[in-house]
Structure 1
Amino acid sequence: MKRGIAIFVLLVVCTGMLAGCWSKKELTDLAFIIAVGLDKTKDGKYLASFQVVNPGNVAGATQRGGGAAGVPVSIYTSTGDTLVEASRKASEKMSRLLYYAHTNLMVIGEEVAREGLDGVFDALERNSQFRTTAHLVIAHGHSAKEILTVLTPVDKISANQIIKTLEFSEMAWGQTMNVDVWQVIRDLASPGRNPVITGVRIEGNPARGKRQTNVQSSVPDARVSLDGLALFKNGRLVKWVNGPTARGVVWVLDRIKQTNVTIPWNEKQEAIGYRTVRAKTDVEATVKRGRPTVSVHIKAEGDISEALVPIHLDDANVLFQLEKEIERDIKKEVKQAIETAQRARTDVFGFGDAVHRAAPRLWKKIQNEWHDRYFPELDVTVTADIYIRRIGLRNKPYMEK
C-alpha cells in the first residue's frame, strides 16, 4: 500500500515537471535585443531603435577575418505613441519575436531627455523580460539611433563597447558615471534627489560610422565616446557639465574610484600629478536656526603620478604642502559643482535625502519647495583630507639636473 502511494506521488511530481515547457520559444524564433534607443519624431511620437544581434556574424567573425564576415548587429526602428506600441509595431519588420532578456543598454535621445522621462521607464519596469540593471546613457548632440548604428572595431557589438567604456572610465578617470535604469527610477521617485546620467556622442562622420569599412581601418571614420554628465530636474534634462565640474559631481556622489588631479607648483601650471587609489565622501545634514545645512567631507589616499618640476619628494614638509594644495584643488572642483547645481536648481547630490534622515519633521515641511527655494540657498561646507602614500621610484625628478 505504501509502495503504491509512493509511486503515485512520484508520477504526479514528474507530470508537473514535464508540463513546464508550455511557453517554450525556439532560439530561431527570437531576436536578441542588445540595446534600445529612444528618440522623438517630428510629429511627437516615439522612435524606438532596436539593436539586434546577428548570431552567425558574431560567432564566426574571428574565424573568418573579423569585419569580412558581415555586420554583427542590425538596427530596426519603429514609431508609436508609447514605447510599448513602438515595440509591438516593430514586429511588422522583423521575422522573429523581440526578446529583451539580454538588453544591457538603453540610449535616450537628448530631445526626449529635455522633454521629460515621465512614463519612459514604466513599461520597462513592468516587463518581465527587461532587466532594470541595463546601463543608461544620454545621446549628446546626436540621436540615439545614430549612436547605435556606429560599428566599433574592437568590440564587435557596439553596445558592449559603450558599456565597457562606462565601466573603465568611471574606474580610471572619474568624470563619468556608470548608471543603470533602476538607479534612475529610484532617483526620479525620490523628492530629495535628481538623476545624473552620462552622455555619449559620436566623434567623426556618423554616416560612415555605420558602414562596415569603419571597422576595417586602424583609424575609424566614427567613434562613440563619453561626453559629460546630464543633470536632471523633475525628470527633465536641464544642464550638461564637463571636465572638473563633472568630477566635482562624482566626488560628492562618492563614486570616485581612481582619478588624476594635477596641481601647480613653483609657478608652473599642471606641474604635479596625484593619482587617487582610495576615496570616500561623507555627506551629513544638520539644522541650524531652523534651516538645514550640509557638510561634505572627502577623504582620499593616493600616489604621486608625475612631477614635471624640480621638487624634493623625500622631504616630509614638501609632501605636507602638496597634500594641502591637492585638498584646495579638490575642494574647488566640488564647490564649483555644487554652485552649478544650485544655479540650475536641481539637487543631484541627494542633499535632500540627507536632510530627510537628519530632520524628518523639517523635511516634511520643506520637501515640496526643496529644489527651487531651499537647495539654491543651502549652506554647504566642504572639507578634504588628502594623503600621499607613495611617491614612485624616484625621489627627485631628473629635470632638475
Structure 2
Amino acid sequence: MINLWQNLIKQILVFVLVAPLLTGCWDRLEIEDRAVVLAIGIDKAKPGDEKESSNATHILGQDPEANKGLIRITVQIAVPGRIPLGAGSGSGSPSGEKPVWVLTSVGYTIQDALLNLQQQLADKLFFGHLRVIVISEAVAKKGIENENDFFRRQPQVRRTVWMVVSKGNAADIMNATPQLERVPSLYLLATLEHSRERGTLPNIFLGVFLSANSAKGQEGMLPYLELKKESNIELAGMAYFKNDKMVGVTTALQIGHYMAIKQINPGGYSVIQEMPGSKTLVIFKSTHRKSRITTTIKNGKVHTIIKCQIEGDLTEKSNEKVFITKGNLKKLEEKIQEDANVGFGKLIQQTQKDGSDIFGFGEYVRATQPAYWNKEIKTEESWQDQYKEMSFDVTVHVKIRRIGTKTN
C-alpha cells in the first residue's frame, strides 16, 4: 500500500512539472506582425508640433507650458523582404526600394511619443533589434534623464546598443542615405564598431554609459557624431556628461588621450610632428598603451598620479633627404612625449572645469582611500566639486618601435 501511494505521488509530481512545458507558444507573435525598430533619433520639438500628437495618453488637455518639453522621435523600421541578406545584387530588395521606413512622432516623453507612433502602425513596435540611439546635442544639453529611464526599463533593448550624440538634428542622421550600406542604421553601426576595432573609439555602448552614469566617482560619455556631405558620418569626438546633462565635447585626437590614460588598446590615433632640427614632417601612430593610475591624499586633497607608456610606429616622412638616425629618433620621442604631457593635462583640466570625471578617478579614491571617501566626500555631488580642485601629475613615455620597411 505504501509503495502504491509513493508511485501515485511520483506520477502527480511528474505531471505537475511537465504540464507547463505543454503550453506551447500561446503568446507567440509572428515576425511579420512586428514593426522591427532598427534605430531611434531624439530631437527637441518645434513650437506648434504638439498639434501632431494623437493624444493617445492624455486624459485632460495638456498645460501649454508643458509643450516646451515636447520631443520628436524619428525611427527606422525594417521593411520585411527588403533587408539585404548578404553581398551581391541578388539579395535583398529590388533596386530603388528602400529597406527601411522612416517615421516620426512627437510626445512629452519617449514612451508617449512611441505610443503616438503606434497609433499610426498596424504592427506592434519591437525593440529587440534596436542597434543605435541618436540623441541631438540640444536634447543632451537639456538632460537625458527620461531617455536613460526608458531604455533602462525597456526589457527588449539590449545593453550593447550604441547611444550617440549628434552635432545637429538626430532626424538628419535617421534620413541619411550612405552609399556603402543600403540600411542606414547598419552603416552607422558599422562606423562605430569599426572605429572601436581600429582603436579610435572606446567600447562605450549603452550599458557602459548607464553604469558610469550611476557610479558615484565617474561620469558617462558618448560618441559625438557629425553628419557631413554625401551622408557620410564623422566621429568628431566624445560628448561627456555631468549627471544626465551634456557639459562638453572633446576633439577626435583627445579620444586617443582618454584611451591612453585608461589603457584601452589597440592604439589607433596618429600625430604629426616635425623631425627635430629640420622642417621634415613625420607621422607617429600609437599601437599599444599601458597606464597606471594611483591616488593619494596630499594636503587634505586628492592627488592623482598618471603614468602612461605608449608604443608606436613611424608611418610616414615628408622629406626623403632627411635620414633617420638613433639620435634624431630619440629626440623625436622626447618631443612627442612633451606634447603628450601637455595634451593629456589639458584634457583632464577641461573635464575638471566642467566637473565631469570621465576617467573614474573618483572610483580609484573609493577603492584605495575608503576612509577618506566616507569621511570627506560621501556623495557624487561632493566628488564633482572636489574633482575640480584635484591635483595631478601626468608622465608619458613614448617608444618608437618600427620605422617601416625603409632603412632611412
Q: TM-score, normalised by structure 2?
A: 0.84
Match status 1:281 vs 2:291: yes
- Once the two structures are superposed, the pairs formed by residues 202-351 of structure 1 within 5 Å of their partners are 202-204=227-229, 221-257=230-266, 258-266=268-276, 268=278, 271-309=281-319, 310-313=321-324, 315-351=325-361
Partner of 2:52: none
C-alpha distance after superposition, 1:269-316 (max 9, x if no partner): 671222222112222111123221001111122222112244444x43
Quote how far apart the aligned CAs of 1:65 are. 9.0
Task: Quote the residue 2:204 is aligned against.
Answer: 179
1:83 alignment counterpart: 110
Distance 1:59 1:282, change over 3 A: same
Match of 1:52 among 55, 74, 77: 77
1:201 and 2:213 correspond:
no
Question: 1:329-380: per-residue Cα shift (whole Å, max 9, x none)?
Answer: 22222112112112223222211112222211222323433223x2222211
CA spacing shift, 1:320–1:268, aligned 2, 3 Å: closer
How far the C-alpha of 1:320 sits from its partner, in A, is: 2.7
Distance in structure 2 (CA, Å) of the matches to 1:198 and 1:343:
20
1:158 aligns with 2:184: yes
CA distance in 2, matches of 1:155, 1:161: 5
Give the corresponding residue for 1:34.
38
SS in 2 for 1:120: helix
Structure 1 residue 123, shift from structure 2 partner:
1.9
Retained in 1: the 8 A contact 2:236–2:252? no
Q: 1:98 to 1:362 in 2, by over 3 A?
A: same
Aligned runs of 1:103-122 on 2, under 5 Å?
103-122=130-149
State the identity as a percent. Answer: 24
1:376 to 2:384 alignment: no
Deviations 1:144-203 (A, max 9, x none): 1221111222122211211221222244363x4442111111122122111121112221
Q: Which moved more, 1:82-91 or 1:258-267?
A: 258-267
> How far off its partner does 1:133 sit?
1.4
- Partners of 1:244 and 1:65 in 2: how far apart? 38
In structure 2, do the counterparts of structure 1 residues 336 and 171 end up closer, same or farther at CA, with 3 Å as the change threshold? farther
Which is further off, 360-369 or 298-307? 360-369
Q: Deviations over 1:64-101 (max 9, x none)?
A: 79772411111122222221222222111112111111
Count of residues in Structure 1 that have an aligned counterpart in Structure 2: 376
SS for the counterpart of 1:197 is strand
Deviations 1:238-263 (A, max 9, x none): 11221433432333233352221222
CA–CA distance in 1 between the matches of 2:163 and 2:131?
Answer: 9
1:392 counterpart = 2:404? yes
Give the whole-Å Cα distance in 2 for the aligned partners of 1:178 and 1:259.
16
Structure 1 letter corresponding to 2:402: R
Letter in 2 for 1:54: V
Consecutive unaligned residues in structure 2, runs of 5 or more = 47-66
Query: Matched residues in 1 for 2:136 and 2:96: separation?
Result: 31
- 1:14-65 per-position Cα deviation (integer Å, ceiling 9, x unaligned): 5432314121001111011111111221332122222111132223782279
Helix, strand or coil at the partner of 1:166: helix
When residues 302 and 66 of structure 1 are mapped into structure 2, their CA distance, relative to the original with a 3 A threshold, is farther
Q: State how far apart, in whole Å, the 2-side matches of 1:293 and 1:227 are.
A: 31
In 2 relative to 1, CA 394–203 (structure 1 residues): closer, same or farther, beyond 3 Å? Answer: same
Q: Distance in 2 between matches of 1:20 and 1:300?
A: 57
Q: Are residues 65 and 22 of structure 1, via their aligned partners in 2, closer, same or farther at CA, if it must alter by over 3 Å?
A: closer
State the AA in 2 paired with 1:22. Answer: W
Change (3 A) 1:7 1:154: farther
Q: Would you say the 8 A contact 2:32–2:80 is kept in 1? A: no
What SS does the aligned partner of 2:129 have? Answer: coil
User: Hey, what's the Cα distance between the residues in 1 that align with 2:92 and 2:38?
Assistant: 23
Check the 8 A contact 2:218/2:357 in 1, yes or no: yes
How has the CA–CA distance of structure 1 residues 59 and 169 changed in structure 2, closer, same or farther, with 3 Å as cutoff? closer
What residue is the counterpart of 2:60 in the other structure? Answer: none
> Which amino acid counterpart does residue 236 of structure 2 have in structure 1?
D
* CA-atom RMSD in angstroms: 2.6
Distance 1:390 1:230 in 2: 34
